[in-house]
Amino acid sequence: MPNHADAPPGLPLGGIRVADFSRVLAGPLATMVLADLGADVIKIERPETGDDTRGWGPPFLGADAAYFLSLNRNKRSVVLDLSADEGRAAARRLALSSDVVVENFRPGLMERFGLDHATLSAERPEIVSCSLTAFGDGEDGAARPGYDIIVQAMSGLMSFTGHPGGEPTKVGVALLDVICGLYAASAIQAALIGRRESGRGSRVTVSLFDASVAALVNQSANYLVGGIVPRPMGNQHPNIVPYQLFEASDRPFILAAGNDRLFERTCAVIGRPELARDDRFATNQDRVRNREVLIETLAEAFATRSAGEWLAELASATVPCAPVRRLDEVFEAPEGRRTLQEVDDPARGSLRLVADPIRVDGITPPIRRPPPRLGEHTEEVLAELED
């Protein structure tokens, strides 16, 4: 495939074209990672409405919701009606001109459109396909809805998120969709590396449910190894003490004393060095077993002074700690401002977005294109297919 003019030298995926049939979050996040790394991502959208997230507001900037803007930079938008012969024919030409095809339709729909991996790879063996599904592409998973909150419930995550005695609680962002999208981006790049040796592409699949259970890491292992069914613990950690939120006299803060040395320093900061020598608290195992009495003792101490005072002293003692920030405070802080990129959008004006966290030789991948308007590049891309 040719190098695309909008991919600056040095980005590792320059020259890779991606036909992106996905929508909402997990798929578009995966393809945005590829686009940020230099791929030419063509976002195929349905007529009139496009990706659902264009309407998931307020807030809106122009015709598009902030939700859509957060997931679709560095892409080109093409409107195709896949229910019509002409639209399917154009989609097939686009797919066959691409290195990668990404989709998150319900199982069986790509086959109906003639865009499934078996059909495409028969004509272009080197093509890589990625399917993101809710519960896998077997018949038992095909009919189940794949919204993030559904999988937060079904994967077990909600059962131990929240406070003791409270209702099961979802995470405050669609985190499982994000995790699934990152797994998909990783799998696609692995498949591209693999075809260098074999000359053939492959079909990779990522199930939102499977990715979500994999993301439970130590909680899953606690059950599988120790038979421990996790319960809500608020801001406490099941395996480390003290590693949680404490209330100072004015506002909450986080303390993360992840080993015995850090606990000893914490005890010195609060003026209770004897706690580190107490047999009930000498090791992390001891502290986990005697969690309640230790946390009560620490909470009484931390309530006597402001969060700023405690954070300064704990940081001076090199004990990991942090204020609990609101999002406005995040983007006002130096490290928060560093995560922002600004792009001049001719249709919407200046636009601030959160930058890709990946650094390539120390450089943040640039925003080459603002998130596209619906169908903005249809004529441009279709003309390329005729060349």
Active site residues: 177
Cα–Cα distance measured from residue 282 to residue 289, given in angstroms and rounded to the nearest whole number: 11
Q: Which own/partner contact pairs does 240-247 have at CB distance under 8 Å and 24+ positions apart?
A: 240/284, 240/288, 241/284, 241/287, 241/288, 241/291, 241/294, 241/295, 242/266, 242/287, 242/294, 242/295, 242/298, 244/295, 245/324, 246/298, 246/299, 246/302, 247/299, 247/302, 247/303
CA 132 to chain centroid, in Å, comes to 14
Helix H, strand E, coil C: the string for the chain is CCCCCCCCCCCCCCCCEEEECCCCCHHHHHHHHHHHCCCEEEEEECCCCCCHHHHCCCCEECCEEHHHHCCCCCEEEEECCCCCHHHHHHHHHHHHCCCEEEECCCCCHHHHHCCCHHHHHHHCCCCEEEEEECCCCCHHHHCCCCCHHHHHHHCCHHHHCCCCCCCCCCCCCCHHHHHHHHHHHHHHHHHHHHHHHHCCCCEEEEEHHHHHHHCCHHHHHHHHHHCCCCCCCCCCCCCCCCEEEEECCCCEEEEECCCHHHHHHHHHHCCCHHHHHCCCCCCHHHHHHCHHHHHHHHHHHHCCCCHHHHHHHHHHCCCCEEECCCHHHHHHCHHHHCCEEEEEECCCEEEEEECCCCCECCECCCCCCCCCCCCCCHHHHHHHHHC
> Across-strand partners of 342?
352
Q: What is the amino acid identity at position 189?
A: Q
